[in-house]
């Protein structure tokens, strides 16, 4: 059923450049396309209902104009961009839009969608608790169940347990393949640039899971065959932070004499590191999304019920996965990037930098307003950071 | 005309007609800081708590613990003009400057206490300051960023933190009646865990009888305060927004002795009703315009409202987020945790039936539509905060629907709760006269559309 | 002799004064830099207008002031710029219902009724770029004079695109464009567009009705006026001296005393 | 002297947002000449010009220059440069060459402000402010524009104040309005100016505190020439600051010294000759192109 003319990385490049194209084809063929914002709506359920999940991103090269009428300027420009594109009719191929309370603005984005965006008549908002407490996981399971019921109404049929199991396994397979792909960046130099990697990641959010897996297999095959020449680059960097769906930042970094070898963002590892565990039921989904996804939006209560708090122990239990990535990918510097006005990430910055200091890993914090050209002033800082590493 | 545009500086008369019953309520919270400080000097623990819509306040009080509210303390910092060194300290410790003013104040306070004054209270802290916390009680209710900055305080304190949960109320989905019991079940589980943790931490048992008693008091206080809100709908508006802001802590987080607070609010209700009877206004000038303030006030520049009062601008209602709704009937529940859960959950769920009826997606919009109708508002004073997503993100939509559905215009004034450096009163005054013409115009429009104000 | 009325507008950059007669005809006017002492500036600009009108201070029946320093102008009354803009434009273009005022400090979009009474308005936000002062900055970077900006920008072939809304970011962006070899023409046209974008963003919550009038220092820049017209899909009227509108409006308000 | 074997020189060119600077040093790293001029719109011509000027002031010819490093905003537009290095690294190098014991360097430019932590002459950590004009030279320029004063004049006047006015606004645009309203309140100009300097410095020092200020502190950038600014800086920091004689050229100086280090590396590797040839050709070709353009 794949109508692709190209394969592997070149196909990823095509899809990255025109995310809507494949979705429109599928919609013509009668598929329902369900857009979703951020990582928390469980795509497994959408897939299991025979619909196509499509991750809604913004557009860094499109100045935000229409959104000014409906949102204040002091909120997440990424989400403002989504509202802006929506009002401008760029999501006309969606049958539905699903959001989650990943943060206050994430929630109001769906609310604004209902008020101001014509496309996607079906909308649903999933409440995500703030903590990973056991009762919160049960509550979140209830939220997923409520979402399931709502989408069953849209589909006019009930969710089949086996279909859900298959969907979970398909998405788990995709996660496994992504981790394989990331392994190919452990070498020096990495076999895959961060730009190429991002184009693949964005493609995965723009394709049905089966097609995504197919694409991944092609890419992994191609990339494995690549021969490594010795690296001229001074630094192997990790990029941390909220959604970054555009290659521009990675181009900026890699043109500053560094390789980006791994990331902790929700268009990369955060989206694919955690699997849904057997028995692939709603509780397993709740566990995967609320507890196993490592986004600062959740208060991971690492010393729950303890009557004393140890700052360093807390940091270690919150960030040890970053330590592991730093070791496994031989990272010698971390770039913390955040979109302006992102509170959940902003409050994390001083603590994470402190943690990296204790590991002896230099880091730098850069903030942008989710527009390609707001990156220009950042270039010098990134270059200087690389110079201090060299 | 020119008099209204340039209020005479020589005018000695107080522009705002303050309620006598406001002062004792304002003193309650100030006394609270002093008592807490004294208690801690006697070795009693101090709990730092966030606004939690009562699910945390009452258990703590039932166990006789002393509580301070850094968010409230930040407003005192701002009001006494002492905020800047604390804000700067937070910036210096690497926290982005666009963060919540309350958060920056508290982080700065903690930084200065632990890193600059060796665990002692910074000398320039008003009201004697806040003693070191024995527990940090966080909450993400109505604002996600809040628990994040309490989490960050672990940089300075080894006190344990607990983050309270509350289902997100501001959605259709959240308001589905079928979900109520499951939401309450969640809250009850959380509350039981929380209370058993308190017992472990403070090595004392929860006094359940006391908790029941406080919940009853809470209901009574909320009944009284919602009656006050109701009475404020009168023309002219009998109670000015500044009086509400000064008197809200004992109902917003039950500062002080709740019996005393209840008495004070009953007095306030009586005084407001008296004013209504006598057509006495909340300002000492003829009420020319009735304004609603959205959402959080500029704590550093409250005097600024005198200037507007002199022009006959009466702020008849304000800050829905600080108002409790009419409390639900809890008599049919026996488990105090369930009562508490339902009391807290009630905070915003009650908005939805109307919102649905009106085809409004955003409950905050619906709330303000109700308020605007009830109070016959001439205009909205929109105060988006550069540092606050939660209280700012819906204001554009509110502005849009007030205009769309009720032909009520909005004056848009950017500022901040704590950081006065981004607020420009001169600017506002320069626009005031033009906004009066705008309000005049829409009065005509509303009349022509058959609305009665 | 018949009554005469004075309007003074002490802006951040320039101060203006207008004298009108009882028929509301302009019989004198003046524009001078605001400088730092508003009291003396007000006196000077007033003198200039009076001289042009051939009048003595005593001939003024009533005076009104506006603008950021207007309270120091020693006039009989003070009024905000927005309502003065409205009255001034209403007198100049009775058909105008929407005003776009691009000042040196910030911009405002104003709608009004047939009597020049304000219906609604929006002013540029803290971080918005919708002000003419950005053009001054850019002119300095490009080392050209303010008057050259408009004509130059009309010769643009492919206007540079700017994606940020903060004045300072945009300044930096201009420099980046320069170093990427964009021509001054294209850069200016790009700036005009980004200001026009902001202006149209400011029309939120305000229903714009024609006729449109573009006033303020920015209106002297034909390139900017054109960009705004294109963006809003209108053809806006520009008064002979767009900077005088607020002062004129103040004079009109004075004449009603 | 053309047939005398030319001595080796090294050049650094700093194309800043508003000013361009060039420095020539000899093999010992001693400065042999420098120039400063406005950048303007056409960086390429500007780079070309400052290069010619600095050669003239140093009394040398281009083929005596072994290696050139460009830095600053316009560093990509110096086609005859052998290498580009960021102004942060170059500033650190330049400052350390003048004050070997320096630990903290604060540089306030027209577009941004930098705080550099330096250890043994190497850049170890840094922060920059390019988000907000307050805390950069631009803030002062705006104030100067507003008040119709020259920058130096402004500094001199401010020194007469012991009671600076508080400038609250964080945003330059608003600060401008605030300055005006302070004036119209009748506050003395001197106090307002002093307030302006305090406001700018406070922003920068706040930045500096994030990476902890350690003495000795060196203060550079155009405004470091400004007496009012220096006073404010010392007041806000609470410690004296060191100021180079030419605080504007530390970046270019650092670039020149880095150029020498690079060239010596090349000499060791034996690439040096070819390097120099390419350099001269690139330069000649470029100047010809430019002549035709004009």
Q: What is the ipTM of this complex?
A: 0.82
What is the rounded CA–CA span in Å between residue B414 and residue A214?
51
- The predicted-structure confidence for A45-62, as pLDDT tens digits, reads as follows 999 999 999 999 999 988
Tell me which residue in D171, D177, D206 faces B92 most closely, judged by beta carbons.
D206
Is the Cβ–Cβ distance between B379 and B408 less than 8 Å? yes
Is D7 in CB contact (< 8 Å) with chain C? no
Band of residue A318 on the pLDDT scale cut at 50, 70, 90: very high
What number is the average pLDDT over the span C139-155? 83
B300 vs D: CB within 8 A: no
C77 to B431: CB separation less than 8 angstroms, yes or no: no
C183 φ/ψ sector (left φ>0, alpha ψ -120 to 50, else beta)? beta
Residue B29 lies in a domain: yes
Interface test with B, best of D178, D195, D209 (most B CBs within 10 A): D209
Residues of C (162-191) whose Cβ lies below 8 Å from A: 162-166, 169, 172-173, 176
Instruction: Tell me the chain C residues in contact with residue D171 when contact means C-beta distances shorter than 8 Å.
Output: 126-127
Average pLDDT over residues A214-224: 96
Whole-Å CA distances, A240 to A353, C235, D100, D274: 11, 49, 35, 42
With CB atoms and an 8 Å threshold, state whether A388 touches D86: no
- Tell if the CB–CB gap between D177 and B91 is shorter than 8 Å: no
Tokens of B27: 């003193």
A66 touches chain B (CB under 8 A): no
Q: Does B441 touch chain D (CB under 8 A)?
A: no
The minimum CA-CA distance between A151 and chain B, rounded to whole Å, is: 13
Query: Which residues are within 8 A (CB) of D271 and not within 5 positions of it... i.e. 6 or more apart?
Result: none
Rg (CA), chain B: 22
Q: How far apart are CA C116 and CA C216, in angstroms?
A: 17
B98 in reach of chain D (CB within 8 A) = no
CA distances from C107 to A64, A278, C201 (A): 19, 60, 12
pLDDT at A194 over 50: yes
Question: Does B407 fall in a domain?
Answer: yes
| Helix C146-154 and helix C222-232, axial crossing angle in degrees, nearest 10 | 50
pLDDT band at D144 (very low <50, low <70, confident <90, very high): confident
Query: Do residues D284 and D79 touch, judged by C-beta distance below 8 A?
Result: no
Walk me through the domains of chain D, giving residue ranges and CATH numbers: 9-90+250-293 (3.30.420.40), 120-237 (3.30.420.40)
Q: Give pLDDT, residue D282.
A: 47
Distance CA B191, CA C13 (A): 61
User: Does some domain include residue B290?
Assistant: yes
* Tens-place pLDDT, residues C151-160: 888 888 888 8
What are A88-135's pLDDT values in tens digits?
Answer: 999 999 999 999 999 989 988 998 898 889 888 899 999 999 999 999
Are the Cβ atoms of A367 and D124 closer than 8 angstroms? no
Scanning D158-197 for CB atoms below 8 A from C yields 171-174, 176-177, 180-181, 183-184, 189
Q: Provide, rounded to the nearest whole percent, the portion of chain A with pLDDT above 90.
A: 80
Q: Does A299 touch chain B (CB under 8 A)?
A: yes
Question: Is pLDDT at D280 greater than 60 in this prediction?
Answer: no
Task: Give CA–CA dist A349/A335, Å, rounded.
Answer: 11
What chain C residue is nearest to D47 in terms of C-alpha separation?
Answer: C179
**CB contact at 8 A, B408 and B435:** no
Task: Name the residue ranges covered by the structural domains of chain C.
Answer: 4-86+244-255, 94-238
Distance (Å) from the C-alpha of residue A344 to the closest C-alpha of chain D?
A: 20
Preferred mutation among B135, B148, B341 to probe A, highest tally of A CBs within 10 A: B148
Pairing of strands C107-112, C118-123: antiparallel
CB atoms B6 and C123 under 8 Å = no
| Shortest distance, CA B427 to any CA of chain D (angstroms) | 9
Alpha helices in C143-183 (DSSP H): 146-154, 167-179
What pTM was computed for the model? 0.86
The domain C94-238: what is its CATH number?
Answer: 3.30.420.40
pLDDT beneath 70: ranges in chain B: 1-12, 169-170, 348-353, 421
H/E run at residue B28: helix B22-41
The residue-averaged pLDDT of A17-40 equals 96
| Strand D104-108 to D217-220 pairing | parallel
Average pLDDT of span A304-327: 93
A365: helix, strand or coil: strand
Residue B385: closest CA among chain C residues belongs to which residue?
A: C126
Question: Among partner residues A377, A381, A388, which is closest to D124 by beta-carbon distance?
Answer: A388
DSSP assignment letter at C104: S
CB contact under 8 A, D168 and B420: yes
A380 at the C interface (CB within 8 A)? no
Indicate the average pLDDT of chain A.
93
**How much is the mean pLDDT over chain C?**
86
A50 backbone φψ class: left, alpha, beta (φ>0; ψ -120 to 50): left
Question: Would an 8 Å CB–CB cutoff place D274 in contact with chain B?
Answer: no
Q: Is the pLDDT of residue A19 over 70?
A: yes
If you measure CA to CA, which chain B residue comes closest to A340?
Answer: B98
Chain A CB within 8 Å of residue C161 CB: yes
- Percentage of chain C surpassing pLDDT 90? 49
Integer Cα distance of A131 and A146 in angstroms: 20
How far apart are the CA of A175 and the nearest CA of chain B, in angstroms?
29
Query: Is C143 in Cβ contact with D38 (below 8 Å)?
Result: yes
Judged by CB atoms closer than 8 Å, whether chains meet at C176 and A73 is answered as no
Query: For residue A77, what is the enclosing H or E element?
Result: helix A77-87
Question: Which chain C residues are within 8 Å of A378, Cβ to Cβ?
Answer: none
- The average pLDDT across D217-226 equals 90
Angle, helices A77-87/A104-116, rounded to nearest 10 degrees = 10
Query: Could you tell me whether strands C14-21 and C4-10 are parallel, antiparallel, or unpaired per DSSP bridges?
Result: antiparallel
- Better pLDDT: A28 or D183: A28
In whole angstroms, how far apart are CA D66 and each of B348, B404, C12, D83, D272?
A: 74, 71, 52, 12, 8
Q: Does the structure show a pLDDT above 70 at D3? A: no
What was the pLDDT predicted at C31?
Answer: 93
| Interface residue C228 vs chain A (CB under 8 A) | no
Domain count, chain B: 1
List chains touching A (3+ CB pairs under 8 A).
Answer: B, C, D
D69, D81 contact by CB (below 8 A)? yes
Is B196 inside any structural domain? Answer: yes
Please state the rounded mean pLDDT for residues A137-147: 95
Q: Determine whether domain C4-86+244-255 maps to CATH 3.30.420.40.
A: yes
Nearest to C173 among A61, A73, A376 (CB): A376
Please calculate the CA angle A247-A250-A256 and round it to the nearest 5 degrees.
140
Residue B332 CB neighbours (<10 A): 8
What's the domain range around B126? 2-448
Q: What does the block give as tokens for A227?
A: 């021969």
Q: Count of B–C CB contacts within 8 Å?
A: 69
CB within 8 Å: C83 and B434:
yes
The pLDDT score that the predictor gives to residue D2 is 40
Tell me how far apart the alpha carbons of residues A111 and D57 are, in angstroms, rounded to a whole number.
Answer: 66
**Chains in contact with chain C (at least 3 beta-carbon pairs closer than 8 A):** A, B, D
Taking CB atoms and an 8 Å limit, are A377 and C166 in contact across chains? no
Residue D124, min C-alpha distance to chain A (Å): 6
Q: How far is A246 from chain D, CA to nearest CA, in Å? A: 21
**Which contiguous run of DSSP H or E holds residue A275?**
none
Q: Report CA-CA distances (Å) from D32 to A226, A366, D6, D35, D265.
A: 51, 38, 15, 11, 21
């Amino acid at each position: 059923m794949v109508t692709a003319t190209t394969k592997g990385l070149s196909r990823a490049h095509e899809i990255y450049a025109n995310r809507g194209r494949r979705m429109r084809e599928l919609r013509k063929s009668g598929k329902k396309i369900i857009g979703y914002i951020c990582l928390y709506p469980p795509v497994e359920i959408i897939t299991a209902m025979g619909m196509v999940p499509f991750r809604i991103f913004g557009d860094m090269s499109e100045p935000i104009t229409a959104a000014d009428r409906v949102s204040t300027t002091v909120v997440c420009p990424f989400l403002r961009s989504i509202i802006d594109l929506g009002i401008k009719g760029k999501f006309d191929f969606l049958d539905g839009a699903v959001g989650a309370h990943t943060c206050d603005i994430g929630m109001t984005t769906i609310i604004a969608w209902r008020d101001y965006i014509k496309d996607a008549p079906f909308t649903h908002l999933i409440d995500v608790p703030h903590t990973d407490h056991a009762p919160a996981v049960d509550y979140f399971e209830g939220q997923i169940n409520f979402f399931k019921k709502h989408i069953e109404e849209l589909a006019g049929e009930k969710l089949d347990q086996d279909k859900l199991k298959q969907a979970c396994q398909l998405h788990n397979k995709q996660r496994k393949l992504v981790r394989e792909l990331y392994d190919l960046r452990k070498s020096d130099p990495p076999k895959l640039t961060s730009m190429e990697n991002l184009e693949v990641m964005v493609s995965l959010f723009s394709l049905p899971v089966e097609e995504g897996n197919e694409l991944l297999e092609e890419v992994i095959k191609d990339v494995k065959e690549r021969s490594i020449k010795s690296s001229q680059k001074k630094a192997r960097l990790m990029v941390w932070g909220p959604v970054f769906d555009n290659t521009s930042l990675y181009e900026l970094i890699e043109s500053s004499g560094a390789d980006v070898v791994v990331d902790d963002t929700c268009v990369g590892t955060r989206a694919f590191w955690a699997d849904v565990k057997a028995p692939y039921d709603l509780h397993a989904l709740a566990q995967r999304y609320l507890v196993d996804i490592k986004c600062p939006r959740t208060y991971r209560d690492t010393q729950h019920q303890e009557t004393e708090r140890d700052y360093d122990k807390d940091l270690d239990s919150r960030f040890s996965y970053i330590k592991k990535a730093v070791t496994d990918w031989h990272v010698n510097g971390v770039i913390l990037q955040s979109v302006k006005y992102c509170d959940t990430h902003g409050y994390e910055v001083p603590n994470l930098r402190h943690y990296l200091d204790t590991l002896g890993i230099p880091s730098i914090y850069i903030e942008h307003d989710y527009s390609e050209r707001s990156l220009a002033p950042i270039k010098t800082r990134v270059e200087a950071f690389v110079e201090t590493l060299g | 005309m020119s008099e209204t545009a340039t209020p005479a500086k020589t005018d000695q008369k107080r522009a705002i007609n303050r309620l006598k019953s406001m002062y004792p309520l304002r003193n309650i919270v100030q006394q609270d800081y002093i008592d807490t400080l004294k208690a801690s000097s006697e070795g009693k623990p101090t709990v730092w708590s966030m606004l939690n819509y009562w699910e945390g306040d009452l258990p703590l009080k039932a166990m006789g613990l002393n509580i301070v509210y850094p968010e409230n303390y930040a407003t005192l910092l701002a009001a006494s003009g002492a905020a800047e060194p604390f804000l700067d300290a937070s910036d210096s410790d690497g926290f982005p400057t666009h963060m919540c003013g309350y958060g920056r104040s508290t982080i700065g306070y903690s930084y200065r206490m632990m890193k600059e004054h060796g665990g002692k209270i910074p000398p320039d802290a008003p009201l004697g300051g806040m003693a070191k916390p024995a527990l940090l009680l966080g909450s993400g209710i109505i604002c996600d960023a809040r628990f994040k900055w309490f989490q960050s305080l672990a940089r300075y304190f080894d006190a344990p933190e607990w983050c309270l949960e509350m289902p997100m109320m501001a959605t259709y989905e959240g308001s589905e009646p079928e979900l109520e019991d499951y939401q309450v079940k969640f809250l009850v589980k959380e509350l039981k865990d929380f209370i058993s943790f308190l017992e472990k931490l403070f090595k004392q048992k929860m006094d359940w009888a006391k908790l029941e008693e406080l919940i009853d008091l809470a209901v009574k206080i909320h009944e009284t305060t919602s009656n006050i809100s109701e009475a404020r709908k009168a023309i002219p508006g009998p109670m000015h927004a500044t009086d509400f802001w000064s008197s809200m802590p004992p109902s917003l987080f039950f500062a002080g002795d709740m019996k005393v607070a209840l008495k004070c609010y009953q007095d306030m209700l009586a005084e407001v009703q008296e004013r209504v009877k006598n057509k006495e206004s909340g300002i000492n000038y003829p009420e020319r315009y009735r304004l609603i303030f959205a959402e959080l006030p500029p704590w550093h520049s409250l005097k600024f409202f005198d200037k507007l009062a002199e022009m006959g601008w009466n702020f008849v209602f304000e800050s829905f987020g600080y108002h409790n709704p009419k409390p639900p009937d809890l008599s049919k529940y026996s488990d105090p945790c369930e009562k508490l859960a339902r009391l807290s959950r009630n905070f915003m769920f009650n908005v939805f039936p109307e919102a649905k009826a009106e085809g409004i997606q955003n409950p905050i919009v619906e709330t303000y539509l109700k308020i605007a109708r009830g109070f016959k508002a001439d205009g909205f004073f929109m105060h988006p905060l550069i540092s606050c997503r939660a209280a700012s993100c819906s204001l554009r939509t509110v502005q849009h629907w007030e205009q769309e559905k009720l032909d009520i215009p909005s004056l848009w004034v950017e500022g901040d709760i704590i950081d006065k450096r981004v607020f420009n009163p001169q600017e506002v005054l320069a626009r005031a006269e033009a906004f009066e013409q705008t309000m005049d115009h829409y009065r005509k429009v509303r009349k022509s559309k058959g609305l009665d104000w | 002799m018949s009554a005469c009325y004075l309007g003074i507008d002490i802006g951040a950059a320039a101060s203006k004064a207008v004298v009108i007669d009882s028929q509301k005809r302009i019989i004198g006017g003046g524009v001078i830099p605001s400088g730092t002492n508003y009291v003396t500036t007000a006196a000077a600009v007033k003198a200039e207008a009076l001289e042009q009108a051939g009048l003595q201070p005593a001939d003024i029946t009533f005076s009104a002031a506006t603008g950021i320093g207007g309270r120091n102008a020693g006039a009989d009354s003070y009024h905000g710029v927005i309502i003065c803009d409205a009255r001034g434009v209403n007198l100049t273009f009775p058909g105008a219902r929407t005003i776009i005022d691009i000042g040196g400090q910030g911009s405002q979009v104003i709608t009004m009724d047939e009597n020049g009474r304000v219906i609604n308005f929006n002013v540029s936000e803290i971080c918005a770029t919708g002000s003419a002062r950005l053009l001054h900055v850019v002119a300095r970077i490009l080392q050209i004079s303010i008057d050259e900006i408009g004509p130059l920008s009309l010769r643009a072939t492919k206007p540079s695109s700017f994606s940020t809304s903060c004045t300072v970011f945009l300044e930096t962006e201009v420099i980046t464009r320069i170093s990427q070899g964009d021509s001054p023409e294209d850069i200016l046209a790009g700036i005009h567009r980004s200001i026009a974008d902001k202006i149209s963003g400011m029309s939120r919550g305000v229903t714009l009705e024609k006729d449109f009038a573009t006033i303020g220092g920015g209106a002297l820049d034909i390139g900017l006026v054109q960009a705004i017209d294109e963006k809003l899909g209108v053809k806006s009227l520009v008064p002979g001296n767009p900077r005088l509108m607020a002062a004129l409006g103040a004079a009109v308000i004075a004449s009603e005393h | 002297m053309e047939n005398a074997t030319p001595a080796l020189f090294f050049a650094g060119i700093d194309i800043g947002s508003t000013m361009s600077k060039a420095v020539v040093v000899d093999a010992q790293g001693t400065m042999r000449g420098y120039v400063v001029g406005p950048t303007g719109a056409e960086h390429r011509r500007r780079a070309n010009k400052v290069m010619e000027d600095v050669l003239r002031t140093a009394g040398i010819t281009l083929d005596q220059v072994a290696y050139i490093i460009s830095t600053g905003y316009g560093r990509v537009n110096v086609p005859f440069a052998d290498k580009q290095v960021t102004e942060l690294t170059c500033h650190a190098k330049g400052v350390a060459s003048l004050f070997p014991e320096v630990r903290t360097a604060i540089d306030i430019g027209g577009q941004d402000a930098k705080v550099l932590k330096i250890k043994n002459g190497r850049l170890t950590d840094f922060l920059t402010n390019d988000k907000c004009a307050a805390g950069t030279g631009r803030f002062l320029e705006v104030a100067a524009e507003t008040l119709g004063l020259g920058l130096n004049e402004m500094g001199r006047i401010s020194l007469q104040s012991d009671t600076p006015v508080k400038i609250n606004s964080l945003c330059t645009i608003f600060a401008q309005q605030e300055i005006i309203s302070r004036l119209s309140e009748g506050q003395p100009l001197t106090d307002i100016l002093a307030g302006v300097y305090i406001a700018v410095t406070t922003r920068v020092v706040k930045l500096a505190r994030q990476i902890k200020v350690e003495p000795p502190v060196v203060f550079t950038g155009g405004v470091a020439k400004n007496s009012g600014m220096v006073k404010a800086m010392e007041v806000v920091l609470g410690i004296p600051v060191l100021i180079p004689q030419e605080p504007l050229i530390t970046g270019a100086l650092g670039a020149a010294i880095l150029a020498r280090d690079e060239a010596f590396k090349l000499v060791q590797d034996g690439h040096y000759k070819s390097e120099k040839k390419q350099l001269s050709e690139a330069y000649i070709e470029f100047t010809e192109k430019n002549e035709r353009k004009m």
